[in-house]
Structure 1
Amino acid sequence: MNELDLHYPPDSCPFCGIAKAYPEPGSRRPGLQNSSNKESTEARAESDLGSLEACVPRGEVQGERTSPSSFVVAASKHVVAFLDILPMVGGHLLVATREHRVKVADMKEEEGREMGFWLPILSRVVAKVTGVTDYNIVQNNGARAAQVVPHVHFHIIPRPGTMPEIKSKSWTMFGRGQRDELDDEEGAKLAGEMRRVLKEELERTKASPKL
């Protein structure tokens, strides 16, 4: 077991709490084993994720179902995307595995494929909503690499023309100490706009994951 898991098990992981509050959409249809190989592959991709529309939550979970409170933009079979509650800048989005994986090396093949599907789409969503077309995608593995929550997640961080002052220019800039908490009203509004744009983006591209 990874040393980080010893003091941060899945049952107390905040990202696992968010994932549980937003269950995976769809379910596997019966009878797939009787389909042809091509039909089975296509049907499996569709049933594993459900419809892409179902991957975009209709509203936010209220009350104590998530810890910390979350503003979710997408929730699919293997991936959950939500606003960072301690953002470096507005629109700072986290894209995490649904299951508790500590490092990228711990991810399963299907999780990697689905992560690769969502990252470009969500990057476009962040750019359109914030109006900022330059951004960082950051992913840390382990405490010495500035990983604060030991659960695989990618940061999509817009880089506007004027960045907030950061005291330290080292890798610790991706830790918790440099940032302000996300206002609940602002977070709900921003997540809602991202979900709206995500639906438009999915409709525009007519994309579907191939798992």
Structure 2
Amino acid sequence: MAVAYDPNNIFGKILRGEIPAHKVYEDDVSLAFMDIMPRAEGHVLVVPKEGARGLLDVSPETLGELMKRVQHVAKAIEKAFAADGLTLHQFNESAGGQVIYHLHFHLLPRWDGVALRPPGTMAEDTKLAEQAEKIRGAMGPFEG
């Protein structure tokens, strides 16, 4: 049985400007911002502006456009942090590891020999602001 989307989740509140976030990219389709509990330096979340609980209930049109933004932000992260690679995570429902029930993609820059940090440690606000600025500085115009 499908569970309805609840717009009062934390990402919905960030999208409405009720909770601050260190924004990396925003347009009419998506918002990308720093994860406040990063598992790697430069860990960014990309969310659709459409209210969707997960991958299975977002509209195909939004998903297609969203993935173009995920790729755009990923390229900027890789460039900004001179990453050797990138990990993309997306979880669905509690059994799949989802904790916040608004579709979101985790972009984590990776370096050879460097493991991801364990989840759950808050980052310093000033550090997130600096990383967001670094990513924005590495980002070219969106050409989707």
What is the TM-score with the length of structure 2 in the denominator? 0.89
Structure 2: runs of 5+ lacking an equivalent: none
**Offset of residue 110 of structure 1:** 2.5
Looking at structure 1, the residues matched to 31 and 117 of structure 2 have their Cα atoms a distance apart, in angstroms, of 29
Superposition pairs for residues 1-211 of structure 1, below 5 Å? 2-3=2-3, 5=5, 9-10=6-7, 12-21=8-17, 65-66=18-19, 69-161=20-112, 162-164=114-116, 166=118, 178-198=119-139, 201-202=140-141, 207=143, 209=144
Looking at structure 1, the residues matched to 115 and 25 of structure 2 have their Cα atoms a distance apart, in angstroms, of 27
Provide Cα deviations, 1:111-163, integer angstroms capped at 9, x if missing partner.
11211211221111111111113111111111100001011001111222322
What is the TM-score with the length of structure 1 in the denominator? 0.62
Identity value in percent: 23
Cα 1:138–1:18, aligned 2, differ >3 Å: closer, same or farther? Answer: same
Structure 1: runs of 5+ lacking an equivalent: 22-64, 167-177
Aligned residues: 143
Looking at structure 2, the residues matched to 108 and 191 of structure 1 have their Cα atoms a distance apart, in angstroms, of 28
Instruction: Give the number of the structure whose residues are more often helix, by fraction.
Output: 1
Question: How big is the alpha-carbon RMSD for the aligned residues of Structure 1 and Structure 2?
Answer: 1.9
Cα 1:71–1:79, aligned 2, differ >3 Å: closer, same or farther? Answer: same
Q: Is the CA contact 2:47–2:103 (under 8 Å) kept in the aligned structure 1? A: yes
Looking at structure 1, the residues matched to 54 and 126 of structure 2 have their Cα atoms a distance apart, in angstroms, of 32
